[in-house]
Amino acid sequence: MSDQNVQGTGETGLFIYGIVPSDVEPTPDAQGVGDPPGDVDVVRHGELAALVSEVALEEPVGRPADLTAYEALLDGTAAVAPVLPVRFGTVVTGPDAVQDLLEAHHDRFAAALDEFENRVQYTVHGRFDEQEVLSEILAADRRAADLAEQVRGRPEAETREQRIRFGEMISQAVELRREAANSELVEALTPYAVLNAPRAPSHEMDAVNVAFLVEADGEEDFVRELEDFAEQRRDLIRMRILGPLAPYDFVSAHQLVE
C-alpha cells in the first residue's frame, strides 16, 4: 500500500476517515465505505497521516454498511493509536488535497493527537424504564396523579386536552429527572475520566447520555464505578456503555472553522 495507489480521477474522490500519527499503517484487510468496500490507505505528511479510501463520486454514501465501516475503522484504530475522526462524508479530490489539508493544520492536528494518546472515549447511555418513572412521577406529583385518573380508561377523543396537559407534565418531570441523572453520572465518574461531554438526548425516555474521555489504564476503575452507578438505579434506568470508541465527542475543540 502506498500513496501512489490512490488517484484522484474525474470519477473518484478520497473519503477521509480520520487523522493519525504518520507511523500508523492500515492492516491489509481494512475495508472502507462503498460497495464494494474500498481499500483503506494512508496519505502521509510530516508527522501526520490521513486514513482514506477511494470512493466513486456518483455513488451516494451513507448506507448502514458505510456508517458501520467508518466507525469500525476509527474505533479499531483508536484502540491502538490516537485518531482524530473526520466528519462522516468528507471527500476530497485526491492525495494532493489530503496533503494540503495536513500541511495547513499540521501543528494543530499533531497537538490534538498528543492529547488523545492512550485515551479512548466511552459513551454512557441510559433509558428510563417508562413504567417505573411514570409511577415515580405520579407518586410525587398530586396534580399529575389527578390528571392520570381523569384520562385513564377513557377514550382519547373525550380527554384529549387532559391527555396533552398530562403528557406535558410528564415530559417536564422526565426532563428534570434527566438533568439530575446526568449531573449525578458526571459527578460520579469525573474522578475516573479526563473529560466529559454531554450528549443530546436521543429519545424521550433518555435518562443519561454522556461521552467520557478515559485514560487507557483507568478503564477498569471507570467501568467499575459505572457498574455501581447502574446497580443503584437498576429498576429505574437501563444503563449501557459503548466503547472503547474513537474520541468523536472530543474533537469539536479542534474543528476548523475559518
Partner 1 sequence: MTVATTTGGQPGGALERAGSGGSNLADVVETVLDKGIVIDAQVSVAVVGIQLLEINARIVIASVETYLRFAEAVDRLSIVPEDQKGLPDLLEDASGAVTKGKAVGGLGKAAKEISGAVVDSLTDRGSERERPRQRRDEER
Of residues 141 through 200, those in contact with partner 1 by CB under 8 A are: 145, 148, 151-153, 156, 159-160, 162-168, 170-171, 199
Among 139, 176, 180, 216, binds partner 1 (CB under 8 A): 139
The DSSP H or E segment spanning 182 is helix 156-189
Q: How many Å is the Cα radius of gyration of the chain? A: 23
- Answer for the pair 243, 122: CB distance below 8 angstroms, yes or no: yes
Nearer to partner 1, 193 or 245 (CB): 245
The one segment of 182-190, 212-220, 226-234 that binds partner 1 by CB under 8 A: 226-234
Counting contacts by CB under 8 A, is residue 203 touching partner 1?
A: yes
Chain positions 12 to 31 lying near partner 1, rule: CB under 8 A, are 13, 15-16, 18-21, 23-27, 29-31
Element (H, E) at 87: none
SS (H, E, C) 149-179: HHHCCCCHHHHHHHHHHHHHHHHHHHHHHHH
Nearer to partner 1, 187 or 227 (CB): 227
Cα–chain center distance at 174: 23
Convert residues 31-70 into a mask of x (bound to partner 1 by CB under 8 A) and - (unbound). Answer: x-----x--x----------x---x-x--xxxxxx-xxxx
Q: Which three cell numbers stand for residue 83?
A: 485518531
Q: Give the C-alpha separation, 155 to 130, whole Å.
A: 21
- Is 4 an interacting residue with respect to partner 1 (CB under 8 A)? no
Contact between 77 and partner 1 (CB under 8 A)?
yes
Residue among 1, 47, 94, 221 that touches partner 1 (CB under 8 A): 94
Report the residue from 129, 184, 215, 219 that binds partner 1 according to the rule CB under 8 A.
Answer: 129
Are 236 and 129 spatial neighbours (Cβ–Cβ below 8 Å)? Answer: yes
